[in-house]
């Protein structure tokens, strides 16, 4: 005779069942992908470098990179890395496991938030984590040891605090403030942008907020103040400890660098046009951007007829403005202010029209969260695709809710094969054909393309995988959403594996880091020539001393590296000065192709992204730059990776 479960035990068992099988599937795939290769330069290596310098030199309050205070980031992620290192020792395993944990928590929180927003549609909560884990861009970026995945956790947790439950309508304000504070300690003031509009526009979607406006805004402001108090509890003593320059950047210029529309000296603004996010939205939300059923369901759900007066005019204005924005993006390149005005004319009329539609509260919440956030981030000068990662959970809920509505009101459209996943299947088959053809086509037609040459030896195996995924996406019947999610996840993991096999050697800085580690331990100064140094060797080599930024010539200006998110700029000596002052020093240099004399005089040569990385004795490289012939080295040049050089003839 079995003992019946208590009500609380039954609820717990149901919650655990709700995690099956998507959470174990995602966790296994994420662990396989994140440990398939080492930390990626520059994103992961820079984060690890900061954590390492804080750990190695006892800088628990102020993050440091390459010996200088690092104002671009706040310390919560570094502290969490340190917590694991205190238990397991310094390693790169714990930070990667942390990222997988963050990603899993993000999926769970998204599912819970969907269940809160759509309590009468349980399918939405079931579909949300499946669709979210299918996003290729979010999955690949989640493999980086970066701040955004942890930020997503705090954003979703803060929004959960605002949403009503079955037993409580009033938000949990102190928890809201705590989540905002943790988000501020993770990524800074941008946390507020992600959660501000559901709070400010609460009466538009929340019944309790409409009935209790004073309490909603009063306690909400107190919650935000609590969040900023948590941030200031760190920032004020950190600013005092880090010095005047650090304090100025921390409180003012590092945030301004993201907001301004122009590149400013010393600030990393990443300035991009106002239409940047709109153009790349299909890329960010792929493969949902190829799911016809979701594409059709969205407008049918959001703009259900009969329309309110003015809705048609608002849609016409938004449509015309969108066309003009696309014209600007396609090459017309309107003035920046014109682009911004057009963007406002796309989003604001659309938002007003949607708010006048008789939408259910869950959809109203998603509209007041996603559209104002998109407008705000688009009007801010600095843009990176991963800035929108927290909003992707909202996108999946929106699509899931629209498809659920389609299933209820239009059963024919909800099950018809014409709106299925066949376009994605076609794309998978085309990719498979390309992968099968690469070993035959690349050597004769693209012999100088390093990406294709690297992947070609392994591509046919992955072609088989995409044939299977394409066939899976052609299937009809129940389970279409799960097949889409499974194919998206497995396809992304497969492409990551292909990158690892064919191209990772161009990103693997372990050989150079190990060589520099020996020099650093011996007290030899190290210089980095011509480009900004972002800490990429510090953690892997466990370096204890800064690397000097060198200029090619005396008085040369530093060269900005726009591919990097945050640069620690060090204006060093010229190469000649460095070589004269440090005759036992080493210099790291970079080139599209290594010069012929590098194979004779360099200490180490290895591929680095699209170019090459070389390590030299400082006097040797300086002599070559001066047109002189240096003494013959006592040891031959080290060539990495060894497998690469065994299969290629190196011109010496």
Look at residues 636, 144, 96, 369 and name the one whose alpha carbon lies nearest to residue 645: 636
pLDDT exceeds cutoff 60 at 263: no
359 burial type by CB count under 10 A (0-12 exposed, 13-18 middle, 19+ buried): buried
Ranking 366-380, 441-455, 630-644 by mean pLDDT, the lowest is 630-644
What residues pair up with 614 in beta bridges, in sequence order? 589, 605
Confidence band, pLDDT 50/70/90 cuts, at residue 333: confident
Residue 418 CB: number of other CB atoms within 10 A? 9
Coil, helix or strand for 607? strand
pLDDT exceeds cutoff 90 at 370: yes
Output 448 or 433, whichever has higher pLDDT. Answer: 433
End-to-end CA distance of the chain: 81
Q: What one-character-per-residue DSSP string does 221-253 give?
A: HHHHHHHHHHHHHHHHHHHHHH-HHHHHIIIII
Confidence band, pLDDT 50/70/90 cuts, at residue 530: confident
49-58 burial, b at 16+ Cβ within 10 Å, e below that, comes to: bbbbbbbeee
Confidence band, pLDDT 50/70/90 cuts, at residue 308: confident
Chain mean pLDDT for the chain: 89
Q: In the structure encoding, which two tokens stand for residue 110, read together?
A: 């998204």
Coil, helix or strand for 634? coil
* pLDDT of res. 398: 97
Residue 485 CB: number of other CB atoms within 10 A? 24
pLDDT exceeds cutoff 50 at 523: yes
Q: In the structure encoding, which two tokens stand for residue 510, read together?
A: 């372990």
546 burial type by CB count under 10 A (0-12 exposed, 13-18 middle, 19+ buried): buried
Ranking 200-214, 264-278, 489-503 by mean pLDDT, the lowest is 264-278
How large is the average pLDDT for residues 407-420? 88
* pLDDT of res. 256: 59
Q: Are the C-beta atoms of 262 and 269 separated by less than 8 Å? A: yes
Q: In the structure encoding, which two tokens stand for residue 282, read together?
A: 């299909």
* pLDDT of res. 251: 84
* pLDDT of res. 324: 94
* pLDDT of res. 348: 96
Q: In the structure encoding, which two tokens stand for residue 473, read together?
A: 């996406």
Q: What are the phi and psi torsion angles at 323 (to 5°)?
A: -60, -45
pLDDT exceeds cutoff 80 at 217: yes
pLDDT exceeds cutoff 90 at 424: yes
Look at residues 599, 612, 563, 602 and name the one whose alpha carbon lies nearest to residue 450: 612
* pLDDT of res. 573: 76
Each residue of 544-553: pLDDT tens digit?
A: 999 999 987 5
Check whether the bond before 42 is cis (ω within 30° of 0).
yes
Q: Are the C-beta atoms of 54 and 63 separated by less than 8 Å? A: yes
Q: In the structure encoding, which two tokens stand for residue 334, read together?
A: 């309107």
pLDDT > 90: percent of the chain: 74
* pLDDT of res. 260: 57
Dihedral of CA atoms 229, 234, 236, 240 in degrees, nearest 10, equals 170
Range list of H helices, 205-333: 207-211, 213-242, 244-248, 254-259, 276-284, 292-302, 311-327
Q: What is the C-alpha to C-alpha distance for residues 540 and 176, in angstroms, rounded to an integer?
A: 38
* pLDDT of res. 596: 83
* pLDDT of res. 634: 86
Confidence band, pLDDT 50/70/90 cuts, at residue 567: very low
Confidence band, pLDDT 50/70/90 cuts, at residue 264: very low
pLDDT exceeds cutoff 60 at 339: yes
Q: Are the C-beta atoms of 315 and 331 separated by less than 8 Å? A: no
How large is the average pLDDT for residues 434-461? 94
Each residue of 100-131: pLDDT tens digit?
A: 999 999 999 999 999 999 999 999 999 999 99
Q: Are the C-beta atoms of 183 and 152 separated by less than 8 Å? A: no
* pLDDT of res. 568: 31
Q: Are the C-beta atoms of 242 and 202 separated by less than 8 Å? A: no
Q: What is the C-alpha to C-alpha distance for residues 400 and 416, in angstroms, rounded to an integer?
A: 17
Confidence band, pLDDT 50/70/90 cuts, at residue 414: confident
105 burial type by CB count under 10 A (0-12 exposed, 13-18 middle, 19+ buried): middle
Confidence band, pLDDT 50/70/90 cuts, at residue 532: confident
How large is the average pLDDT for residues 436-443? 95
Look at residues 141, 142, 238, 104 and name the one whose alpha carbon lies nearest to residue 184: 238
Q: Are the C-beta atoms of 362 and 162 separated by less than 8 Å? A: no
* pLDDT of res. 334: 86
Q: What is the C-alpha to C-alpha distance for residues 454 and 279, in angstroms, rounded to an integer?
A: 30
* pLDDT of res. 268: 55
How large is the average pLDDT for residues 131-142? 95
Q: What is the C-alpha to C-alpha distance for residues 525 and 538, in angstroms, rounded to an integer?
A: 13
pLDDT exceeds cutoff 50 at 627: yes
pLDDT exceeds cutoff 60 at 156: yes
Question: Which position has the token pair 């340190």?
Answer: 82
What global pTM score does this model have?
0.92
Break the chain into its structural domains and give their ranges: 15-255+274-304+358-418, 421-506, 510-646
Looking at residue 545, the DSSP 8-state letter turns out to be S
How large is the average pLDDT for residues 186-205? 96
Q: What is the C-alpha to C-alpha distance for residues 606 and 645, in angstroms, rounded to an integer?
A: 10
pLDDT exceeds cutoff 60 at 650: no
Alpha carbon of 126 to those of 18, 19, 178, 403, 482: distances in Å? 7, 9, 28, 12, 10
Look at residues 413, 426, 203 and name the one whose alpha carbon lies nearest to residue 294: 413
* pLDDT of res. 249: 87
Our separate counts of H helices and E strands in the chain read 31, 8
Report CA 360 to chain centroid distance, whole Å: 31
Alpha carbon of 550 to those of 21, 41, 137, 165, 582: distances in Å? 53, 20, 35, 59, 13
Look at residues 307, 301, 325 and name the one whose alpha carbon lies nearest to residue 375: 325
pLDDT exceeds cutoff 60 at 91: yes
How large is the average pLDDT for residues 91-107? 96
Q: Are the C-beta atoms of 159 and 114 separated by less than 8 Å? A: no
* pLDDT of res. 464: 97
């Amino acid at each position: 005779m079995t003992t019946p479960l208590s009500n609380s035990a039954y609820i717990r068992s149901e919650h655990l069942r709700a995690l099956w099988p998507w959470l174990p599937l995602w966790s296994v795939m994420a662990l396989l992908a994140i440990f398939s290769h080492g930390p990626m330069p520059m994103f992961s290596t820079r984060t690890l470098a900061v954590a390492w310098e804080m750990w190695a030199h006892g800088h628990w309050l102020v993050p440091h990179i390459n010996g200088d205070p690092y104002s671009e980031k706040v310390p919560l992620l570094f502290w969490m890395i340190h917590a694991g290192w205190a238990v397991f020792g310094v390693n790169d395993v714990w930070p990667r496991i942390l990222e997988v944990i963050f990603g899993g928590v993000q999926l769970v929180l998204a599912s819970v938030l969907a269940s809160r927003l759509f309590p009468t549609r349980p399918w939405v909560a079931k579909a949300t984590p499946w669709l979210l884990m299918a996003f290729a861009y979010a999955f690949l970026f989640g493999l980086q040891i970066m701040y955004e995945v942890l930020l997503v956790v705090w954003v979703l947790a803060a929004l959960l605090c605002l949403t009503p439950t079955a037993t409580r309508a009033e938000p949990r304000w102190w928890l809201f403030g705590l989540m905002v504070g943790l988000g501020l300690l993770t990524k800074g003031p941008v946390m507020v942008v992600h959660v501000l509009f559901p709070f400010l526009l609460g009466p538009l979607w929340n019944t309790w907020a409409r009935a209790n406006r004073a309490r909603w805004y009063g306690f909400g402001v107190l919650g935000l103040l609590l969040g900023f108090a948590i941030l200031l509890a760190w920032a004020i003593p950190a600013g005092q400890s880090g010095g005047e320059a650090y304090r100025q950047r921390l409180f003012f210029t590092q945030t301004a660098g993201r907001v301004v529309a122009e590149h400013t000296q010393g600030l990393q603004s990443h300035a991009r046009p106002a239409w940047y996010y709109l153009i790349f939205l299909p890329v960010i939300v792929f493969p949902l951007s190829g799911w016809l059923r979701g594409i059709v369901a969205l407008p049918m759900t959001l703009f259900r007829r009969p329309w309110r007066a003015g809705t048609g005019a608002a849609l016409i204005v938004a449509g015309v403005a969108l066309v003009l924005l696309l014209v600007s993006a396609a090459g017309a390149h309107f003035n920046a202010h014109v682009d911004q005005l057009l963007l406002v004319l796309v989003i604001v009329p659309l938002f007003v029209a949607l708010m006048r539609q008789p939408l259910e509260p869950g959809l109203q919440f998603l509209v007041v969260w996603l559209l104002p956030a998109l407008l705000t981030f688009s009007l801010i000068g600095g843009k990176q695709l991963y800035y929108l990662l927290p909003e992707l959970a909202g996108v999946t809920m929106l699509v899931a809710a629209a498809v659920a509505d389609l299933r209820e009101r239009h059963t024919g459209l909800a099950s018809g094969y014409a709106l299925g996943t066949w376009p994605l299947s076609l794309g998978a088959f085309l990719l498979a054909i390309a992968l099968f053809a690469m070993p035959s086509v690349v050597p004769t037609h693209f012999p100088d393309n390093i990406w294709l040459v690297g992947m070609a030896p392994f591509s046919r195996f992955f072609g088989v995988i995409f044939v299977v995924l394409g066939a899976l996406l052609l299937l009809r019947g129940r389970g279409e959403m799960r097949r889409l999610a499974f194919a998206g996840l497995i396809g992304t993991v497969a492409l990551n594996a292909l990158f690892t096999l064919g191209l990772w050697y161009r990103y693997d800085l372990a050989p150079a880091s190990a060589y520099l580690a020996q020099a650093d331990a011996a007290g030899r100064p190290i210089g980095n020539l011509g480009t900004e140094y972002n800490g990429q060797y510090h953690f892997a080599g466990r370096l204890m001393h800064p690397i000097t930024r060198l200029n090619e010539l005396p008085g040369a200006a530093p060269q900005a590296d726009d591919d990097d998110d945050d640069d620690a700029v060090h204006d060093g000596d010229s190469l000649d000065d460095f070589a004269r002052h440090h005759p036992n020093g080493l210099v790291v240099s970079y080139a599209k192709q290594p010069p012929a004399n590098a194979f004779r005089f360099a200490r180490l040569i290895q591929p680095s992204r699209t170019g090459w990385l070389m390590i030299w004795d400082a006097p040797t490289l300086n002599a070559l730059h001066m047109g002189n012939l240096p003494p013959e080295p006592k040891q031959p040049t080290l060539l990495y990776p060894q497998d690469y050089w065994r299969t290629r003839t190196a011109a010496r």
